[in-house]
Chain A
Amino acid sequence: MSSSASSQPVVHPVGSARLLWTVLATVAVLTLLAYLVAFDQGAVSRSGMYLHELMHDGRHLLGVPCH
């Protein structure tokens, strides 16, 4: 996400360390989001089984092991 990215040629968009950290943070947040939907049992979300129960049908139909 360098400031000159808007006119950068296609060769190496992953050049700067800042972009690398942005990418890593993004992957971490998105993985957490997918985890909360697909696998959380309250240990991470601190919501008890509420999220788990709310997402119950979605988890079954997305094909993730549920119970």
Chain B
Amino acid sequence: MPLTTTTPPFVAVLVRGLLAGLIAGLLAGVFAYVAGERHVEAAIAIEEASTHAEPAAGAHDHEDALVSRTGQRGGLFLATGLFGAAMGGLLATAYVLLSRRRRGDDDGRSGLLLAGAALLGAVIVPFLKYPANPPAVGDPATINQRTVTYLLMVVLGLVAVWAGSLGYRSVGAQAPTWLRAAAAVGGFLLVTAVSYVVMPSFQEVPADFPATLLWNFRLASLGTQVVLWTGIGLLFAALMHHERRRRAGTALPST
């Protein structure tokens, strides 16, 4: 049994996932700060203008807030860093749990595939149904409902990706690639389409909210998640590659 087909212990994988997630989260924070902060600021200005016009509508007082705007801008990095670490750790856990299915010792590829699956299922699918909202958009009265449906949509997105991989595998390895790919796309689209139809929609953008600001904010928000998951995938694959080389190096110095 050659040493290159060993798998590292769970904790070694977990630590690498957490580290990849923390770094990717901080990178996502940098992207969000550069690309998104000014849109958040612009939206808060609109929110405060409308709150001052009719004080009863104030959902969220930014003036005598617990945390200053400077604090919230700094908190952005804390939020993306911690969220990234959590996601990286969960990715590493999924990686270990799914390693039973892996035939070879292709660590880099499966780590990247998992991150891509998470980006598609847990980010892009929910985003297209429930896109990110800047301050001043969204009715505070429905926040619990929107939170629950958003989380449900994340789960359904991951189910859709799982249905895609199930479709890919169910066709059989001897089938042509295009047929397997078509089965994967079909499984994914079936679950996604049914979810989109069944799940409730929320139309809560104020009529006078600038469309360009909404678009720019949403693009920045999606970009933040893309940076996060791309970073997690690449860094995790790189760290696992390094780990494998280190382990193999004890037996095979030439690698």
Contact = CB atoms under 8 A, between A and B. Distances in A.
Nearest to A11: B100
B233 interface: no
B70 to A, nearest CB: 11
25 contacts: A1-B11, A9-B6, A9-B7, A10-B7, A10-B102, A10-B105, A13-B7, A13-B10, A13-B99, A23-B93, A26-B89, A27-B93, A30-B86, A50-B67, A53-B65, A57-B73, A57-B75, A58-B80, A61-B80, A61-B221, A63-B126, A63-B132, A64-B150, A65-B147, A67-B138
Interface of B is mostly: helix
Interface string B134-154: 110010100100110010000
A5 B96 CA distance: 12
A65 B89 contact: no
Contacts of A23: 10, 93, 96-97
Interface residues of B, number: 66
A53 B66 contact: yes
A9 B49 CA distance: 63
A31 B75 CA distance: 19
B5 A10 contact: yes
Interface size class of A (residues with CB under 8 A): 35 or more
B116 interface: no
B82 A37 contact: yes
Given A13-B96, A66-B133, A58 B29 contact: yes
Residue of B102, B132, B228 ringed by the most chain A CB atoms within 10 A: B132
Nearest to B228: A62
B133 A55 contact: no
Contacts of B115: none
A26 B9 CA distance: 14
Interface stretch (B32-40, B157-165, B188-196): B32-40
Given A27-B93, A55-B79, A65 B146 contact: yes
